[in-house]
Amino acid sequence: MRLIESLKKKKFILFNIFFTLYIGINLIGGERGLISYFDKKRIYEELEFKNKVLTSELKDLEDKILLIKNNDLDYLDMLYREKFRYGTKDEIIIKLK
């Protein structure tokens, strides 16, 4: 009985304690908390890195397509020798990759 009367008198303090705990827990571990922020930041940095890699690969492919469209004989000869493993009898072919 005394416990119930004591709680009725101190309900404002208890409300503040529970409210503070709720805010603190959600600030750190909630869906929009600090842990989630750092996870999203890490994912964003990984995606930025992938974007840079894919952009550079796209630029390389565009340059190669431009060489093929312009009929660059050196590049076409290189592609022909690489894809079909072609060489004359007096050539020595060394594969570096």
Residue ranges per domain, the chain?
A: 2-60
> What DSSP designation does 89 have?
T
Q: Cα–Cα distance between 84 and 29 in angstroms, integer?
A: 58
Q: Is residue 53 a contact partner of residue 47, using CB atoms and an 8 Å limit?
A: no
Better-scored residue on pLDDT, 94 or 54: 54
pLDDT in tens, 77-90: 788 877 877 777 77
Q: Tell me the pTM.
A: 0.58
Amino acid at 78: M
* Helices 34-69, 73-84: inter-axial angle, 10-degree rounding: 110
- What pLDDT digit, counting tens, does each position of 30-52 carry? 788 888 899 999 999 999 999 99
Q: How far is CA 36 from the centre of its chain?
A: 15
